[in-house]
Amino acid sequence: MKIGRKVADLRKDKGMSREELGKQVGTSGLVIGRYERNENTPSIDMILKLAKVFNVSLDYLVGEGQLANYDKEVLKRIEDIEQLDKETQIKLFFLIDNVVQNFKTKQAFAK
């Protein structure tokens, strides 16, 4: 999916007009429309502003996948985990894996 489509979808999901989005990122609604139609490509600075307004990662806006649309709280926790020593990370990952496996097992048996 191209960046213009993602911007349009995110803007509509937030119930914003092009003009409202333009004001929040320091441009006009006309420019936002050009981005959405992929007539113009936003600068890196503009992509940063758009990501901040939409509360998404840069990877989500410029990447091909959908997986980068993480909640900021999740991203903050991931950053915090990266600061931990390896031994603590291994223990935490073991715990997370067990909780996720338990959740998936409950879902499978609930069907």
pLDDT tens digits along 45-80: 999 999 999 988 888 888 765 544 566 777 788 889
Kindly state whether residues 47 and 78 are assigned to the same domain: no
- Could you give the CA distance from residue 104 to residue 98 in angstroms, rounded to a whole number? 10
Mean pLDDT, range 86-103, rounded to an integer: 93
- Residue 11 one-letter amino acid: R
pLDDT at residue number 70: 60
Kindly state whether residues 96 and 77 are assigned to the same domain: yes
Kindly state whether residues 43 and 84 are assigned to the same domain: no
Kindly state whether residues 47 and 10 are assigned to the same domain: yes
Kindly state whether residues 58 and 25 are assigned to the same domain: yes
Kindly state whether residues 76 and 50 are assigned to the same domain: no
pLDDT at residue number 15: 95
What rounded mean pLDDT belongs to the chain? 88
**Model confidence, pTM:** 0.60
Domain that holds residue 83: 72-110
Residue 67 in domain: no
- Could you give the CA distance from residue 77 to residue 89 in angstroms, rounded to a whole number? 12
**Position 31 pLDDT exceeds 80:** yes
